[in-house]
A and B are shown apart, each in its own frame.
Chain A
């Protein structure tokens, strides 16, 4: 079933109205938020939201690519994040090198991802629901084994010296260096991914595969190798983002599901199967979460409900999802 068949589309005439209402709504929301906090803390919350969004973007980019190509909603992505983070933390503790930790977190989960794709998922390839259910079973195993190995205490990654502390560019505005590093990292990675997606042969194959797998296979491209590569990429980035995320949010059992929720909302809002959708959704969800945590901490999960509900009602494929 293609993406288009699973949903109904909004007629074009309604779109302008929807866009106008959205802009007015967001404007009113920002105005209200500005009455609640100073401009400096507003700016800080924007950066907080975007740096959390950066982590969500790493996760959602892999998730959405795997889904676009293989139609597998990999619910083990949260587990990948958690376990990758733990492996990274341990590696940094042992070697003292943060970047080696990133690599180890990514590589270990990449191996796990290849195992999951080749051994577990291949026998049920094409069976949509069993694939999803299998990945959720995998999440339980990953989460529980992580608990067995790393215990239940919150753990943070040891940051390198040059990323510790805060910068103070204007004399009055302190901001943690690490969060800016995460944001920069996401922008660079996003740029590279967009370049690969738009300008290289690999990107062309992936985009073609998202649109029409049979034709790509008929053109002589080994689609199975593309699938495995996509899964490896998604798993690597998920594991790496766990290490990066462990510098901002302490890792603890249960966070696999929490981060999975955020990643799902990102792709539901942004639209499945598109890199732009992942970037936009991650920014939106990151910002909503950061302002919600500052203004209405008790409702901070609930605030994801409203935008998700609205988008599902007006545009079930998400903001930038493919509508054919």
Chain B
């Protein structure tokens, strides 16, 4: 173990903030009302989902706009058992998990040979097809009416208890993701982000790597889906629309793509902003679209990127930039000079 004194200033501050966040997370139920607790719970679930997307978009550089198909499949798996059969909680979770993972595997098999814009287009189509199934397959999904009759497990029926459950799952998943992105597999994903052809030249089977990535990312998306369906106690086609896949991507970019903390910050900002805006006016999708456009135009580094840039310039000189925005959202290395000139 490294001693505290040997840590860099940056690392010390990071650990300090983590401790503050942990204390805040544990004390929220005792100071906030139910409404806020539900919002924080939703933020944590959204953050987990956004992190699973960031594993693909930020770490592997493969932006997906169809991941709500995986999340939603898990939700429908749970919902189907809960509302159409008399299966217990264990069966609901197992079915939700299996359906979500199967969908992640199918998505992976379909998209594993593509990259860049093709990858985005294929994932959109995948997600939209799940939406089509959700809205037409009346006997299974209940179509527009959705699936009712989903109930939280007895021990966590109250919002506070459920919050602690979500917090625990979120913490475990965050640690797992932390391990994943530092593992050789995580490094291989980053390698693919920087240059897929070079990774292939080094002997990596990038198609298999992408398939594996879908399974790992799909695991966390599935877990998020199971939590979300119990949080809402409801699932309907609006959980799998394109927006449901696009908003977590926005969360990841807004927070800082290619980091684990970025999607979490982005999730809290978007969830609370959405809630606040929806109280004031009806046009949330317009505002969300405008945020999308503005972030993409002017703030591709995200909040983490902006803070890190300031921090490394003023306080801890010589640090490296924190986000993957330059390689994911910057110019590809083949960008033509003619095309990037302004004017």
Q: Which residues of A are interface residues toward B (Cβ below 8 A)?
A: 1, 5-8, 67, 71, 73, 75, 120, 122-130, 132-134, 136-145, 148, 213-214, 217, 223, 254, 257-258, 260-261, 264-265, 267-268, 272, 297-302, 304-305, 308-309, 312-313, 316
Tell me, yes or no, whether B306 is within 8 Å of chain A by CB.
Answer: no
Question: Given A120-B293, A133-B296, A257-B241, do A127 and B114 touch, yes or no (CB 8 Å)?
Answer: no
Q: For residue A220, give the distance in angstroms from its CB to the closest CB of chain B.
A: 13
Tell me, yes or no, whether B124 is within 8 Å of chain A by CB.
Answer: yes
In the complex, what residues of A have CB within 8 A of residue B296's CB?
A: 124, 130, 133-134, 137
A261-B292 in contact (CB<8A):
no
Question: Given A129-B63, A132-B63, A132-B120, do A144 and B297 touch, yes or no (CB 8 Å)?
Answer: no
Tell me, yes or no, whether B342 is within 8 Å of chain A by CB.
Answer: yes
Q: Which 4 A-B pairs have the closest CB atoms?
A: A301-B132, A137-B292, A140-B289, A141-B289
In the complex, what residues of B have CB within 8 A of residue A254's CB?
A: 241
In the complex, what residues of A have CB within 8 A of residue B334's CB?
A: 1
Tell me, yes or no, whether B171 is within 8 Å of chain A by CB.
Answer: no
Interface size class of B (residues with CB under 8 A): 35 or more
For the complex, give the distance between the alpha carbons of A73 and B117 in Å. 7
In the complex, what residues of B have CB within 8 A of residue A312's CB?
A: 110-111, 113-114, 122
Q: For residue A133, give the distance in angstroms from its CB to the closest CB of chain B.
A: 5
Besides A6-B114, A130-B300, A298-B138, 8 other CB < 8 A contacts? Answer: A120-B293, A137-B288, A145-B286, A268-B122, A298-B137, A309-B110, A312-B111, A312-B113
For the complex, give the distance between the alpha carbons of A142 and B120 in Å. 20
Q: For residue A15, give the distance in angstroms from its CB to the closest CB of chain B.
A: 17
A7 partner, pick from B113, B128, B246, beta carbons under 8 A: B113
Binary per-residue interface labels of chain B (306-343) against chain A in the complex, 1 for a CB within 8 Å, 0 otherwise: 00000000000000000000001111101110111010
For the complex, give the distance between the alpha carbons of A133 and B25 in Å. 32
Binary per-residue interface labels of chain B (20-45) against chain A in the complex, 1 for a CB within 8 Å, 0 otherwise: 00000000000000000000000000
Tell me, yes or no, whether B125 is within 8 Å of chain A by CB.
Answer: yes
In the complex, what residues of A have CB within 8 A of residue B116's CB?
A: 1, 6, 128-129
Q: For residue A269, give the distance in angstroms from its CB to the closest CB of chain B.
A: 10
B289-A120 in contact (CB<8A):
no
In the complex, what residues of B have CB within 8 A of residue A213's CB?
A: 336, 338-339
For the complex, give the distance between the alpha carbons of A299 and B282 in Å. 33
Tell me, yes or no, whether B65 is within 8 Å of chain A by CB.
Answer: yes
For the complex, give the distance between the alpha carbons of A297 and B138 in Å. 10
In the complex, what residues of B have CB within 8 A of residue A73's CB?
A: 117, 120-121
Q: Which residues of B are interface residues toward A (Cβ below 8 A)?
A: 63, 65, 106, 109-111, 113-118, 120-122, 124-126, 128-129, 131-133, 136-139, 197, 241-243, 246, 249, 253, 282-286, 288-293, 296-297, 300, 328-332, 334-336, 338-340, 342
**What are 13 inter-chain pairs, A to B, with CB distance below 8 A?**
A123-B297, A126-B339, A129-B329, A130-B296, A130-B329, A142-B289, A148-B286, A217-B338, A264-B121, A272-B118, A302-B137, A316-B113, A316-B118
For the complex, give the distance between the alpha carbons of A300 and B133 in Å. 8
B113-A298 in contact (CB<8A):
no
For the complex, give the distance between the alpha carbons of A71 and B292 in Å. 20
In the complex, what residues of B have CB within 8 A of residue A133's CB?
A: 63, 249, 253, 292, 296, 329
| Nearest-neighbor residue (CB-CB) of A304 within chain B | B129
In the complex, what residues of B have CB within 8 A of residue A299's CB?
A: 133, 136-137
In the complex, what residues of A have CB within 8 A of residue B110's CB?
A: 308-309, 312-313
B128 partner, pick from A5, A120, A124, A301, beta carbons under 8 A: A301
